[in-house]
Amino acid sequence: MSEEIINKVAASPLLQVDLEAYLPKDEIAVFDLKPHLFMELILKEKDFRASLQGLDWSVYQGMTVAVTCSADAVIPMWAYMLVASYLQPLAREIIFGDRKEAEKQLFLKNINSIDAGLFEDKRVVVKGCGDREIEPFAYLEIAKKLRPVAKSIMYGEPCSTVPIYKKK
């Protein structure tokens, strides 16, 4: 008696969302204002402008750039605007914050670009574990994105899920 083995998980109508697929793949450069400050602490407009003018901005061509100041200094808002004016023609994207903040912003952008219509009235499983750690904000965002359209949302693996939402 040889019965064919059927993978019921693979045959199920569940759609799986793997958040790892939406992790940013961009190379992120960090532009720190600190080295351009007087004594790495005080912004002197003339010196700051001269320092920025002397930079080779082409190194940021096509990159995502996180703009931050690692010094505990008071930075006027126009200084960030000035840095952006140099970066904007070259950089793919400019984000305020450190590398971690830039990664988060790009991740959120990728999640928000998901076509929710693909999940209309579908049963969705958001993958629970993988090779890279996914921060909690991503699970919150995907739930917000899918809840208005999905028939149901579950967390985990198709063979072992935790129910999150079911349309009534």
| Assigned domain for 3 exists | no
| Assigned domain for 101 exists | no
Hey, what amino acid is at 38?
F
Retrieve residue 163's tokens. Answer: 């129910």
Q: Same structural domain for residues 113 and 158?
A: yes
| Assigned domain for 98 exists | no
Last residue of a domain, one of 40, 64, 91: 91
pLDDT (0 to 100) of residue 152: 95
| Assigned domain for 82 exists | yes
pLDDT (0 to 100) of residue 130: 79
Domain count, the chain: 2
pLDDT (0 to 100) of residue 132: 87
| Domain limits for position 33 | 28-91
Task: Give which of 161, 143, 167 is closest to 12, Cα–Cα.
Answer: 161
pLDDT (0 to 100) of residue 133: 87
- Burial classification of residue 81, based on how many CB atoms lie within 10 Å of its CB (0-12 exposed, 13-18 middle, 19 or more buried): exposed
Q: Same structural domain for residues 16 and 64?
A: no
Q: Same structural domain for residues 115 and 161?
A: yes
pLDDT (0 to 100) of residue 9: 47
Q: Same structural domain for residues 115 and 81?
A: no
Give the torsion sign (CA, 136, 141, 144, 149): negative
Tens of pLDDT along the chain (168 residues)?
567 665 444 546 788 999 999 999 988 999 999 999 999 889 999 999 999 999 999 999 999 999 999 999 999 999 999 999 999 999 999 999 999 999 999 999 999 999 999 999 999 999 988 788 899 999 999 999 999 999 999 999 877 889 889 988
Q: Same structural domain for residues 78 and 47?
A: yes
What secondary structure, in 3-state letters, does the chain show?
A: CCCCCCCHHHHCCCEEECHHHHCCCCCEEEEECHHHCECCCECCHHHHHHHHHCCCHHHHCCCEEEEECCCCCCCCHHHHHHHHHHHCCCCCEEEECCHHHHHHHHHHHHHHCCCHHHHCCCEEEEECCCCCCCCHHHHHHHHHHHCCCCCEEEEEECCEEEEEEECC
| Assigned domain for 100 exists | no
CA distance 142 to 108: 9
**8 A C-beta contact, residue 125 and residue 150:** no
Residue 144 backbone class (left: φ over 0; alpha: ψ -120 to 50; beta: rest): alpha
